[in-house]
Structure 1
Amino acid sequence: MWPHVARALLRMDQFRRVPGGDAEIQRIQRRLNSRYVAGIGIPAMILVPCDGVYSRDVQQGFMMSLQFELKLDINTINGYFGPATQAALRERASGPLTGDLRYLFRSACYFNSPTRMRDGRVLVPLSYLPSDLGTDTETETHLQWVRSFQDFTQLTINGSNDYPTWAQLLVSCGDTTRPATGCDCITEITAERGRQLVAAGYQIVGRYLDEHLAPDDPYFLNKALKPGEPQTILDAGLRFFPIFQWNGTQLFNFDYGRGNEQARKAHEKAVGFGIPANTCIYFAVDYDAMDSEIDSNIKPYFEGVKAGLAALGNRYTFGVYGSRNVCIRVSREVGARWSLVSGMSWGFSGNLGFPMPENWSFNQIREYEFQPGWGLDHDVWRYAADPGVSALDTGQ
């Protein structure tokens, strides 16, 4: 045990609850250390912080603890949500749970709290009760939370610990094999490609309004919508949603001035394509932005977006693409209408310990090659959220 203590002393981890830390999360953290590090001694596991904050290190320790309870070979435990862990969850954790495995499932519920519950036509926060962590009883409050979580994340509502629910609790991408009706890509949607998407069950596709690089640039992607493409998409029986991204992969890509400029460019492009008023345009934060960076650069960028669109009459609303934390903060603090969540980036710190944004419209859960040379992002499209574009404004 002393090597673990010495290592912890050399790290910046906190073992006292920090301001804003949650007392119940701290108790879970201490239990992980007591049982799986000091007790069982999982070789790859180190002491997790006990600060009351669900962080990347806590998530990795939690996953290792789960792998042990799923009876993976102790020498193969690595904290990665890989094929062996997924298979074990399907085989061993989708029936009645007791003991430590039951405790871990309910801890995962607590980490994802609050979820959202329907109250008439509105969604209200629903927190997981600490009292439901320490009992094997299937209480009504536990079942209500699980059903609400399943409803909010668009899973089958059954109140059970089935594999899709486990996956959605553990990683932001959830079950990447689940069906979805949304997608996005950098590839032009021709009439034939549109037919292929519809045949595969897709109903809406995200496409980029513009590209900042010149065609002779070695990094040029040719990702922007082409003239006539919006109508081609609609003629295929699809809807589409517009995305705007000039770089957006590093901190210095974001400030108020760039946001203002890019909002004006997005407006110009959208009008040129005949995209109707009140459409939501998603502006991208395509990297793992920390809280300090959200404060210093990301929020000012979106304030610039907001001002730029307002200066042109607020014909369009703005949404945000990014990690859960980016989406939550930009929506709450700047006013983004909808969130396109980069759920497939499950290792982002901004996707660990943060619930799904209340205003999520798409959850991007998997990237794959739909056809040779045609990569596609598989997006869960939320019911009754952003409707996308279903007709063009021919008057513009």
Structure 2
Amino acid sequence: MLLAIQYELGMADGTANGVFGPGTQAGPRQNTVHLGSRGTWPLLFSAAMVLDQRPDVTFSSVFDNTMSSAVSQFQSFCRLPVSGIGDYQTWASLPVSTGDATRRGTACDGATKITQARADTLKAEGYRYIGRYLTNPSVAGLPEMAIQPGELATIAENGLRVLPIYQTYGNGAQYFSYEQGKAAALAAVNLDCSAELGELTPWQ
């Protein structure tokens, strides 16, 4: 998908690399698609929607009412302003998991303890949901990766919410299978952090 955008921008084979960098971002930034748009850019946009498995979308060079409706649904799902228009933020949310990296969010995750100072900073920056890890497979490298004693109380006292994250290893595509996902989900559900933290109870 990104290579298709890069070739449409005229990038040579040695330059087009499938990375959503500044040069590639210029295409979607300069080619907003909307109701009535026709041509290659609506075609590429529809391809991105199809690849993202958005319902009721077909590969087409015409941005019609059906596409506009599908875009509105996608924008709502991504918590973007709902306009039914393929603007830059909508474009960016289709081919890469980060979407528009400059977009301000309300959720974050981190591998360090949420202290009072960090809570103050996060709140001031507009964050409300804090992702913290339930386990730490590498204590030596990241000693505070897992939720630390007293941390949940600090988060709650500051009106923030916790998004629990269960992660062990996974450094290659072959790791991410259905069976591995199922095993990880069961391990997370059955995890008992109460002995370590004194403030979490078994999830069962």
The answer to whether the superposition gives a TM-score over 0.5 is: yes
The answer as to whether partners of 2:107 and 2:129 remain within 8 angstroms in 1 is yes
Q: 2:56 aligns with which of 127, 134, 157?
A: 127
Q: Cα gap change, 1:191/1:144 in structure 2, threshold over 3 Å: closer, same or farther?
A: same
Q: Does residue 93 of structure 1 match 2:26?
A: no
- Residue number in structure 2 paired with 1:260: none
Aligned pairs, how many?
193
- Residue number in structure 1 paired with 2:87: 162
The answer as to whether partners of 1:211 and 1:223 remain within 8 angstroms in 2 is yes
- Residue number in structure 1 paired with 2:195: none
Q: 1:135, 1:226 → 2: CA distance?
A: 53
- Residue number in structure 1 paired with 2:156: 234
Q: RMSD across aligned C-alpha pairs, in angstroms?
A: 2.7
Q: 1:303, 1:199 → 2: CA distance?
A: 36
- Residue number in structure 2 paired with 1:84: 23
Q: Cα gap change, 1:195/1:303 in structure 2, threshold over 3 Å: closer, same or farther?
A: closer
The answer as to whether partners of 1:70 and 1:89 remain within 8 angstroms in 2 is no
- Residue number in structure 2 paired with 1:302: 185
State the secondary structure of the residue aligned to 1:207.
Answer: strand
Q: 2:5, 2:112 → 1: CA distance?
A: 39
**Per residue, is there more strand in 1 or in 2?**
1
Q: 2:53 aligns with which of 113, 131, 134?
A: 113
- In the TM superposition, 1:19-34 aligns within 5 A as none
Q: 2:137, 2:4 → 1: CA distance?
A: 46
Greater shift after overlay, 161-170 or 221-230? Answer: 221-230
Q: 1:155, 1:141 → 2: CA distance?
A: 19
- Displacement of 1:303 in angstroms is 4.3
Query: Rg larger in 1 or in 2?
Result: 1
State the secondary structure of the residue aligned to 2:104.
Answer: coil
The answer as to whether partners of 2:46 and 2:61 remain within 8 angstroms in 1 is no
Greater shift after overlay, 68-77 or 230-239? Answer: 68-77
Q: 1:303, 1:229 → 2: CA distance?
A: 24
State the secondary structure of the residue aligned to 1:143.
Answer: helix
State the secondary structure of the residue aligned to 1:166.
Answer: helix
- In the TM superposition, 1:338-353 aligns within 5 A as none
- Displacement of 1:157 in angstroms is 0.8
Could you tell me the TM-score, scaled by structure 1's length?
Answer: 0.44
Percent pairwise identity:
34
Q: Does residue 248 of structure 1 match 2:144?
A: no
State the secondary structure of the residue aligned to 1:76.
Answer: coil
Q: Does residue 148 of structure 1 match 2:70?
A: no
Question: Which runs of no fewer than 5 residues in structure 2 stay unpaired?
Answer: 192-200
The answer as to whether partners of 2:108 and 2:129 remain within 8 angstroms in 1 is yes
- Displacement of 1:230 in angstroms is 1.5
Q: Cα gap change, 1:300/1:198 in structure 2, threshold over 3 Å: closer, same or farther?
A: closer
State the secondary structure of the residue aligned to 1:67.
Answer: helix
The answer as to whether partners of 1:113 and 1:127 remain within 8 angstroms in 2 is no
Q: 2:99 aligns with which of 169, 174, 184?
A: 174
Q: Cα gap change, 1:315/1:235 in structure 2, threshold over 3 Å: closer, same or farther?
A: same
What letter is aligned with 1:127? D
Q: 1:212, 1:187 → 2: CA distance?
A: 14
Q: 1:304, 1:230 → 2: CA distance?
A: 21
Could you tell me the TM-score, scaled by structure 2's length?
Answer: 0.79
